[in-house]
Amino acid sequence: MKLSVEFCSHVEGFEWKTERLENLFQILNGTVPILNLLGLDKETDWTLSVVFMDAKEISELHERFFQDPSPTDVITFPGDPSMGSLGEICVCVEVAEQEAPYHNHSTEREITLYLIHGWLHLTGFDDKTPDDIFIMRMAEAALMKEV
């Protein structure tokens, strides 16, 4: 199986290296194997899409799909397995820049957390109930140590 990561940035001046994204998701897939969890064909080449957005753009998505016009950190959309798509992870760079200082770490680390959070959603994790949130946070913490 080949996992390729396609990404684009809609944020002027923001850059993220392709190799870093590919390495991140290879590590995540080795730790939380999406194909096994979703019962997908391991012989197929799969694509994951990542989009870096500003607050205005992610707010529009948030309102359109979740009826909440506020900016959010990350939104994940499941893919279409018949087209070899694992899904899309949309990350708000501005929210990461605002939140990172509150957690005493870099914007890069905050964005990595959002990417992990998105991956976990694609693999079936949820964060709707207090128990789900606890499980999600534990998984995020363990994966942050891995990467």
pLDDT digits (tens, 9 = 90+) for 96-125: 999 999 999 999 999 999 999 999 999 889
What percent of the chain is modeled with pLDDT above 70? 98
User: Which CATH class, in words, describes the domain spanning 3-146?
Assistant: alpha beta
More confident residue, 32 or 86: 86
Q: Is the predicted pLDDT of residue 38 greater than 80, yes or no? A: no
**Beta-sheet pairing, 85-92 with 74-78:** antiparallel
pTM of the full structure: 0.92
- What is the pLDDT at residue 147? 87
Residue with tokens 């128990």: 131
Rounded mean pLDDT of 130-135? 95
Q: Is the predicted pLDDT of residue 1 greater than 80, yes or no? A: no
What separation in angstroms does the CA of 70 have from each of 62, 66, 67, 107, 110?
7, 10, 9, 20, 19
